[in-house]
A and B are shown apart, each in its own frame.
Chain A
Amino acid sequence: MKFTGTDTYVATDDLNLAVNAAITLGRPLLIKGEPGTGKTLLAEEVARSLGMPLYQWHIKSTTKANQGLYEYDAVSRLRDSQLGDERVHEIGNYIVKGKLWEAFDSEQRAVLLIDEIDKADIEFPNDLLQELDRMEFYVYETRQLVKAKHRPVIIITSNNEKELPDAFLRRCFFHYIRFPEAETMAQIVEVHYPGIKQSLLKSALETFFGMREVPGLKKKPSTSELLDWLKLLVAEEIPPEALHSKQPGKSIPPLHGALLKNEQDVGLFERLVGMSRRGR
Chain B
Amino acid sequence: MLVDFFLQLKQAKVPVTIREYLSLLEALDQQVVWGSVEDFYYLARLCLVKDETHFDKFDRVFAQYFEGISDLGEEVKAQIPEEWLRKLTELVLSDAEKAEIEALGGFEKLMKTLKKRLAEQKKRHQGGGKWIGTGGRSPFGAYGYNPEGIRIGQDGSRHRRAVKVWDRREFKNLDGSVELGTRNIKVALRRLRHFAREGAPEVLDMPGTIRATANNAGYLDLQLVPKLHNKIKVLLFFDVGGSMDEHIKVCEELFSAARVEFKYLEFFYFHNFVYESVWRDNQRYRAERINLWDLINTYGPDYKLIFVGDAAMSPYEISMVGGSVEHYNDEAGYVWHQRLLDTYKDAIWLNPTPQGWWNFTQSVGMVQQLMEKRMFPLTLEGLESGIRMLSKVTG
Contact = CB atoms under 8 A, between A and B. Distances in A.
Interface of A: 13-14, 17-18, 20-21, 24-25, 27, 30, 32, 74, 78, 81-82, 122, 161-163, 166, 169-176, 178, 181, 183
Nearest to B218: A81
Nearest to B191: A122
5 contacts: A17-B32, A24-B30, A82-B219, A163-B187, A169-B50
Contacts of A161: 183, 187
Interface in B49-65: 49-52, 55
A18 B183 contact: no
Contacts of B190: 122
Given A20-B32, A21-B43, A163-B187, 15 more contacts: A17-B39, A24-B30, A25-B23, A25-B26, A74-B206, A74-B210, A82-B218, A162-B187, A170-B19, A171-B19, A173-B46, A173-B47, A174-B46, A176-B52, A176-B171
Interface string B337-373: 0000000000000000000000000000000000000
Contact of A170 (B17, B55, B158): B17
A25 B47 CA distance: 11
B264 interface: no
A78 B213 contact: yes
Nearest to B16: A170
A25 B158 contact: no
Nearest to A218: B181
Interface string B76-114: 000000000000000000000000000000000000000
B51 A24 contact: no
B220 to A, nearest CB: 6
A13 B160 contact: yes
Nearest to B17: A170
Interface in B18-47: 19-20, 23, 26-27, 30, 32-33, 38-39, 42-43, 46-47
A166 B15 contact: yes
A206 to B, nearest CB: 14
B56 to A, nearest CB: 12
B50 A174 contact: yes
Given A13-B42, A24-B30, A174 B51 contact: yes
Interface in B183-221: 183, 187, 190-191, 206, 210, 213, 218-220
